[in-house]
Amino acid sequence: MQRVQSVTAAEFSREVLFSPVPVVVDVYADWCGPCRALAPLLEKLAERYAGAVKFVKVNLDEEPEVAEVYRVEAVPTLLFFRNGQFADRVTGIPPAQAMLAKLDDLARRPEGPVGR
């Protein structure tokens, strides 16, 4: 079962900015090898953090306006949101332990930027 939901620019506000739980947005491209390598990890993390953190993905080529608003310059880029506010970003494939720490923090802390 796929736990990382694809969203369009039209759905972004509803699925990310108005989400009752923190959200990780995977900005990716179909042609991007590292993006394909990151996808299975995100699926596992979505399962692990089900109910505590929501995971969505946005295709850079199909939804360029999302990348433009959040100044995504390379893929993969992970955008972190808490309480409807942009909190942090990671470009590339993060080390597993760093990603787990960031997600634990995101899931646990109700307010404030991620990782600070």
Which residues are known to be catalytic? 32, 35
3-state secondary structure of 87: strand
Listed in sequence order, the residues at least 6 apart from 116 whose beta carbon sits closer than 8 Å to its beta carbon are: none
* C-alpha count within 13 angstroms, C-beta hemisphere, residue 50: 8
